[in-house]
Structure 1
Amino acid sequence: MTQESRRLLITAAAELFAERGYRQTTFEDIATRSGVSRGSIPWHFGNKEGLLAAVVEHVVAGLHTEPNAPATLDQALHALHEFIRSPSAKLFVTLIAEAMEPGSPLRKWYADLHTALRARIRAWLEQAELPQGVGADELSITLLGAVMGIHQQWRIAPEAVDLERVYMTVGVLLRSVGLGRHADR
């Protein structure tokens, strides 16, 4: 039951951090949501930062275990669209404001998350013929920034952002610089 309790606590914490933020979530909230006793949280994780670390490590590990990078631009855009709608993506957006505060316990974990997401994008870009003068590292940073911005706008005002049309537009823009031309064949 120990591993099951740990899993339940991580799942509940991830959901609550996504809904309320890290600072606004208490051990009592997590215990109630998970159905596991409040005292189990420090036993498993030491403290709230330890629980946060476990949540982020779990989410980042999931990014590394996903299938190989998409082979085509359309597959990449579809994967991106699916990711944006995932609970993990909501967690990332909710926690970013707290991560930017000096001394935040989220800062390091967020940096690790960005590293993992850039690696996923870069893996796809390495299969494509990039426009001359465009590096995979710089383009992965640019695309991640665009995706995060689109996602934040959608989470804040979903009625104002049509994700399907936005990602169609992203695809048109990427194709216009020749990015999908060779990878989609």
Structure 2
Amino acid sequence: MPTRRAETSQESRRLLVEAAATAFADRGYRQTTVAEVAELAGISRGSIPWHFGNKEGLLLAVVEHAFELVSRNTAEPRLPGPEGLRDLTDQSAAFVRQPITKLMISLLADAMDEDSPVHDRYVELHRAMRAHIAAWAEQPYDGCGLPEGVTPDDVGVVVLGASMGIHQQWRLAPDRVDLDRAFDSLQRILLAAVQSRA
């Protein structure tokens, strides 16, 4: 059984990760100080080096938390055909509304740098998301087929890129971009493409 001290330590760690996720999403990693994270979490700033070593360690913990959330959504195999496509795009639309998605997009600029501590984790995250989408595209289904020369991996790249682009546009101008309409349009475009090759 965990001791009371261990439970308190785990709770402090959780609060710091959540506070850092919020701060990094709102202000960016480089602009956020550990003091601001500690204040937002309501915990002594000395707890950050105790739990994470330094600010970079905190960042890695935040990204790992985000990765775990995404991994849960990509663990299930995709259903084939139109039903699977609807599920896939509905899942994407729901995911981009989550606060953790804003954080992931906010940290993307840092992840672009090969020396970034989160670069490799982002590479793996995007690989898993593309594979999740490709798993739908590679399943045979009566009445559907990919356009000539297009592979399931190609579909993974395009759909992930479209989903990220829709999310960015919606975050920038939520009053001008209808998220549901955008993902419904993406679904219709994909379905038309695969059915045209049947």
TM superposition score category, shorter chain reference = 0.7 to 0.9
SS of the residue corresponding to residue 177 of structure 1 reads helix
* Aligned counterpart, 1:39: 46
* Aligned counterpart, 1:58: 65
* Aligned counterpart, 2:88: 76
Q: 1:169 aligns with which of 177, 182, 185?
A: 185
Q: Which runs of 5+ in 1 are unaligned?
A: none
Q: Deviations over 1:67-114 (max 9, x none)?
A: 624532212111111001111110111112232246333322322321
Q: Which runs of 5+ in 2 are unaligned?
A: 1-7
* Aligned counterpart, 1:16: 23
TM-score (norm 1): 0.87
Matches of 1:57 and 1:123, distance apart in 2: 24
1:94 equivalent to 2:94? Answer no
Matches of 2:78 and 2:90, distance apart in 1: 9
TM-score (norm 2): 0.82
Which is worse superposed, 95-104 or 16-25? Answer: 95-104
Matches of 1:162 and 1:138, distance apart in 2: 26
Q: CA RMSD in A?
A: 2.2
Percent same amino acid at aligned positions?
48
**Equivalent pair of 1:17/1:91 in contact (CA under 8 Å):** yes
Structure with bigger RCO (C-alpha 8 Å, 6+ apart):
1
Shift of 1:128: 5.5
Q: 1:28 aligns with which of 32, 35, 50?
A: 35
Q: How many correspondences in the alignment?
A: 182
**Equivalent pair of 2:23/2:32 in contact (CA under 8 Å):** yes
Shift of 1:7: 0.9
- Over 3 Å counting, the alpha-carbon distance change for 1:177 and 1:112 in structure 2 is same
